[in-house]
Amino acid sequence: GTLPGLISNLKDLPSKNPRVGSAFWGSGRKSQYCRRLQEKQRLRFHYGLTERQLLKYVRIATKAKGLTGQVLLQLLEMRLDNILFRLGMASTIPQARQLVNHRHILVNDRMVDIPSYRCKPRDLITVKDEQKSKDMIKKSLDSLDMIKKSLDDSSPRKKLPTHLILYRKEY
């Protein structure tokens, strides 16, 4: 048989007019509901949240002063797993969650095993004083350095966010 993308006869090409029941009917302009749902799902999957967790953050953000969307993003960026990812101590947010769950991370010299722990300004995030923990973090930081060298200067992953400071001498 012929491959679907390599049809040789023009008469074998599908017509541009979609048939009833075809998937083409829904390919028009997206509704506001659809766009909001996609944005919500993008947030959920990027930060690795359940529906329930996201709703909790939305409730907190709506009660807080300021723009709800901006406050919501601030709350999500304050999560410990997200901060580890932003610092480059983990290559993905799920890996950062695992580091926290497996008790490799200390916040202000206290063991924290909750990935959703909300960090505050001036919190000191360190790695447990075990070689295995330090090796895992060093590996992630080294791979991030390799990635940064290959990126151009305009890439958002190239620079550390201004509100975070990473002291590399320990690793």
- CA dihedral (61, 64, 67, 72) in degrees, to 10, reads -20
DSSP 14: P
Beta-strand relationship, 110-111 and 105-107: antiparallel
The domain spans of the chain are 32-77, 79-171
- What are the residues whose beta carbons fall under 8 Å from the beta carbon of 89, sequence distance 6 or more? 96, 99, 127, 137, 140, 141
The pTM score is 0.73
Average pLDDT over residues 81-97: 91
Percent of the chain whose pLDDT exceeds 90:
50
Tell me, what's the pLDDT at 158? 56
- Tens of pLDDT along 112-163? 999 999 999 999 998 988 888 888 888 888 777 777 666 666 555 556 777 7
CB atoms within 10 A of CB 53: 15
Tell me, what's the pLDDT at 2? 44
| CA–CA separation, 152 and 149 (whole Å) | 8
Superfamily of domain 79-171: RNA-binding S4 domain (3.10.290.10)
